Structure formats: structure tokens, C-alpha cells
Amino acid sequence: MKNVAIIGSGSWGMALAICLANNGNNVKVWSFCEEERDLINNEKKCKFLPEAQIPENIECTTSFEEAIKGADFILHVTPSKFTRETFNKYKQYVGHIPVIICSKGFEKDTLQTLDEVIKDELPDAKVGVLTGPSHAEEVALGVPTVLVVASEHEEIFEMIQDAFMSNKMRIYTSKDVKGLELGGALKNIIAFCAGVAAGIGLGDNSFAALVTRGLGEISRLGVALGGKQETFYGLSGLGDLIVTCLSEHSRNRKAGKLIGQGKTLEEAKKEVGMVIESIDNIDVAYELGKRNNIYMPIIETVYNVIYNGLEPEKAVEELMTKSKKSEQ
């Protein structure tokens, strides 16, 4: 049994909390919202996971100190754009407690991955990344799920596996922190593109092409930024790409579908009602590709859809009529 602090009470934070609590761990969740805290503590409900029942061994608080005190490890589960701001508010309580990043994305201003943000603010922090193909809605209901944890600190592997693993959850390990971070951040953008494709009525042939060619772009940029090629064909790359591109649970796919159907970006954000990491990170991926001279036609095209008013149907035409190339 572990004592776990979870920073963030959104759908993914609470799904992880439920998984850990059902496995016998004591869980304290930090929320910035008193209304959410009271709903979790008093009614044992989460507004983002209406079908899930909150176990008794989950406690929610609005105090960082209270959430982290006595924890064996911390799961950081806030939107990527709030990572530095939130971490700065609780880093004084971290000490030697490992911080496991469960969010996916980049910091927009610095183009840093989230592990880099944490290390930037607390250089001695023991950092890990937990990611993989997973919908919060399914994890919260105990649907069998497989994730992967990466860290430079091997003691984190056993800690995370002991806390999570059951007949409902399996955890693999990796030392490729950078690869896991990049796979998780970049796949959201391809999922957004898959949604756009669905919104304009494209079919299975198109989705298959998008996933495979999108994976090529992810791996090219990921390797250039320090990830390992094989990582992008594993759980955090191909696995997460499949589940996010093809499922109606995916908020990134849903947002893209709304854009494809003619909604504005603001209308799509409002209808989804949760943070859409792909939209926050498309320009970061575009800039990283340019800086590293990486060929990424899909990401460049969706950048033009979002920021330069390119019509989705025209975007497909541009991709389909590019110059002849080898698949490799």
C-alpha cells in the first residue's frame, strides 16, 4: 500500500485516483476548486466521470501541503499550460518525493517538455512519466488498461508498478523519458486531425493513412529531439495514437470533428468543455519541426487550418497532391 498525492482533479487525475484507491492505496487529490473538493468528499462523485463511484479512501483537498504530506510519490495531472505555475506553488513540499508527470503536452513559451519544466524549477527532483493508451472514462470503470512509466530513477519503476498493477491495470517500464513525453504530446495533434477528417466525412482508408503517416511525423521529430525510435512504435506512441485517433472518448478528436463540421475554434472549445491539449500544442510542434528541419506535412497543414484559415477540404487536397515520395 502506498500513500499517493495527485495534483489535479480533472477526469484523468480522478481516474488514476480511483484506480489506485481500488488497489488499496491511500489517495489524496488536490483541486483548485472548492466545489469539486466538496463533491468528491461529500457525495463521492466527479463531475467529469459521472458513471464512476469515488472510493472511500480518496480524499480531496485544496491545500497542496495537506495533499503531499506523507506521500510516497506525487502524480502531476494538470493541463500542460499550467504545469510550471502549479508546480511552483507546491515544489516547497516535494523534497525527495518522486514527481510522476501524467499530463501530455509542451510548455508553449519555452517549447519544453513537461519533465524539462519540472527539472527547470527543481533541478534535484526525481521525475518520471506515466503514459500510454488510456481513456479516463474506461480506467475509472476498471476496463483493463496497459500503461508505461519512464524515469532515470529505477526505484520509481517498482514503486509505480506496486501501486498500480492488478488484473485491471498493467504497467511496463522504460528509460526513454523524452520519447514517452514526445509521443504523448504529439499524438494529440494527429488525433485532432483524425477528428477533422471525420468531420468532413472521410472514411477508414483516410484514417489508416493519417495514423500511419502521422506516426512517421511523430517519430521523425521525436528522434530528432532525443527520443528512441522504438518508443514511438510502443504504448506511448502507436498505442496512444490509435486510441486517441479512433475513439469518441477523445476530446482532441471531438474538437477536430467539430472544426471539420464547420464550427469555429472557440465554439469547439466551448462544446468540448475541457482542456484540448492538441490545440495548445499545434504551434509548438510546428515550430519544433521548423527549427529541426523535419518534414511534417500533416502537422504543417493542420497548423494552417487553425492559424491561417485553410479550409479542411482544401487541406486534404493539398496533402493528397504533394510531390511524389518514397514511403520511407
Q: If you write DSSP's letter for every residue of 136-153 in order, what string do you get?
A: HHHHHTT--EEEEEEES-
Domain-located, residue 113: yes
Same domain, 18 and 131: yes
Residue 28 shares a structural domain with residue 159:
yes
Question: Could you tell me how far CA 119 lies from the centroid of its own chain?
Answer: 19
Range of the domain at 140: 3-175
pLDDT at 299: 96
User: DSSP alpha helices (H): ranges in 1-97?
Assistant: 11-22, 34-38, 64-68, 83-90
Asked, for residue 97, whether it belongs to a domain, the answer is yes
Residue 327 lies in a domain: no
Q: Is residue 229 part of a domain?
A: yes
Tens-of-pLDDT digits for all 328 residues of the chain?
Answer: 899 999 999 999 999 999 999 999 999 999 999 999 999 999 999 999 999 999 999 999 999 999 999 999 999 999 999 999 999 999 999 999 999 999 999 999 999 999 999 999 999 999 999 999 999 999 999 999 999 999 999 999 999 999 999 999 999 999 999 999 999 999 999 999 999 999 999 999 999 999 999 999 999 999 999 999 999 999 999 999 999 998 888 889 999 999 999 999 899 989 988 888 888 899 999 999 999 999 999 999 999 999 999 999 999 999 999 999 888 7
The residue from 147, 175, 203 where one domain ends is: 175
- Tell me what pLDDT residue 57 has: 96
Distance of CA 103 to the CA centre of its chain: 5
Pairing status of strand 127-131 against strand 26-30: unpaired
Claim to verify: residue 82 and residue 144 sit in the same structural domain:
yes
Residues 169 and 227 in one domain: no
> Facing residues of 131 across strands?
148
On the CB side of 257, how many CA atoms lie within 13 Å of its CA?
18
* 200 falls within a domain: yes
Q: Any bridge partners for residue 5, and if so which?
A: 28, 74
- Helix then strand then coil, in percent of the chain rounded to 5, is 55, 10, 35
pLDDT at 250: 87
Q: What is the CATH number of the domain that holds 44?
A: 3.40.50.720
113 and 186 housed in the same domain: no
**Whether residue 145 is found in the same domain as residue 219:** no
Q: Are residues 162 and 198 in the same domain?
A: no
User: Residues 90, 227: one domain?
Assistant: no
Residues 140 and 278 reside in one and the same domain: no
What is the pLDDT, as a whole number, of residue 265?
Answer: 87
Q: Of 150, 175, 200, which one is at a domain's C-terminal end?
A: 175
Query: Are 142 and 186 part of one and the same domain?
Result: no
The answer to whether 143 and 18 are in contact (CB under 8 A) is no
User: Which member of 187, 228, 290, 324 is catalytic?
Assistant: 187
Q: Is 328 inside a domain boundary?
A: no
Q: Which domain CATH number covers 251?
A: 1.10.1040.10
Residues 116 and 197 placed together within one structural domain of the fold: no
Q: Is 123 left (phi over 0), alpha (psi -120 to 50) or beta?
A: alpha
Domain endpoint, select from 175, 190, 205: 175
Our count of domains for the chain comes to: 2
Tally of CB atoms within 10 A around 181: 29
Annotated catalytic, 187? yes
Determine the pLDDT at residue 46. 94
Identify whether 112 is part of a domain: yes
Cα end-to-end distance, the chain, whole Å: 48
Residue 15 falls inside a structural domain: yes
